[in-house]
Amino acid sequence: MRKGIGSLLVTLLLMTVGFFSVNVEAATAVKKEINSSFSDFLAEEKSENWYKLTTGENTYMVFSFSAEEIVNHGWNISIYNDEYELIRSYKGIKDNFISDRFMFDDYSTFYLKVEGQYKDNWCPCGVEYTMSTSETIDKLFEKESNNVMKKANTLTSGKEKYGTLWTEKDIDYYKFKTTKTGYTQIEFHSESGEVINHGWNLSIFDSTGKLIKKTEGIKENFKSLKLDFKKGTIFYVLVEGQYKDNWSPVDKLYSIMAKEVKTTSYEEESNNTVKKATLLQKKKYGTTYVKDDIDYYKYLAKATKKVTVKFTLEDDEIVNHGWSVNIYDGTVSEKYLVAHDNAVVNDVSFKFKAKKGHNYYIVVEPRYKDNWAPIDITYMVSAS
């Protein structure tokens, strides 16, 4: 046990020392202006030249590198964010080179480090190199670091946002607030123009961080299921590599967009309680997003008469384990049952005598709240 604790302490110490070393070296960085060029050289084999730069507003940055002489073994160039986290490393650069685009938050500090590919006799010590940095104003690009929900980039309805995974473990969060009554779909496209063997995962979370839907291995174009959230609802979208290793689509440009459709024909999530029930006048479409999703619909009887409530599937899908549909007279009691079917797998009708002025609640939920739940299947509820 002591041996295990000792090993852990040594590991933590090494990690701390490594971070402290980067921190100290970055603190000695020479301040450079973006949109400028400068020349320098490595004084000795173990030299590391650090440069400190600050971004503008709504921009992305690119740097270029060139050497004055032909070398056999070149330079390594690394880029760090303002928290001294390694963002990207380019190794063995010998001559003319142009980096990928880097999108930082407005007025962020970042660091460039130049060192020899080999810190021995192969080091290109004394060879002059020139670096140029430039930034381009473009509001369409993501702003790093957006690797947690609280730093999520905001999506604007109907407008694309471009992003890139800088490293295998890079993740990008986006936030969207619905502006219309209807539904929203997330569209994702690979913009690299290359064949992607192992793609991206896209996950959608509600405002509390609860996972609604995850799609894995997106390689080209993708459109999410219809998200029928209530107007003003905030939700999050996470983009990450399908595999966080060498198969990750690093440096591959993608675009993401939230596209809204205005309609009153869909439920309004979250409608999982009586108080949040979606008003049902003629018909509403709904979807079971997750295995414990519950949808409440409220029907107000305008006359005392026989009412028919229909539950139908939008597509001809085979459902082995379906829904439980219960109808309550909420004016009498939230638990006063007037009709029900606990094994709905296809179209079904419910008939009951409604009383004028009474509120009736139609409750739709998976029959089994496990892997058998009918996830992502759209249904329609109507009352006449």
Architecture in CATH for domain 27-137: Sandwich (2.60)
Left if phi > 0, otherwise alpha if psi is -120 to 50, otherwise beta: which for 265? alpha
> Is residue 42 scored above 50 in pLDDT?
yes
> Is residue 10 scored above 80 in pLDDT?
no
Q: Residue 13: what are its φ and ψ, rounded to 5°? A: -65, -45
> Is residue 91 scored above 90 in pLDDT?
yes
**Which H or E run includes 17?**
helix 2-27
Tokens of 89: 């490393």
Name the class of domain 278-383.
mainly beta
Report the predicted TM-score, pTM, of the whole model to 2 decimal places: 0.83
- % of the chain residues with pLDDT over 70: 93
> Does the domain spanning 149-262 belong to CATH 2.60.120.380?
yes
Domain boundaries, the chain: 27-137, 149-262, 278-383
| Segment 326-383, tens digit of pLDDT | 999 999 988 899 999 999 998 999 999 999 999 999 999 999 999 889 988 999 999 9
> Reduced to 3 states, what is the DSSP secondary structure of residue 53?
strand
pLDDT score of 15? 46
Closest CA to 66 of 114, 136, 119, 4: 114
Instruction: Tell me the average pLDDT of the chain.
Output: 90
**One fold for 27-137 and 149-262:** yes
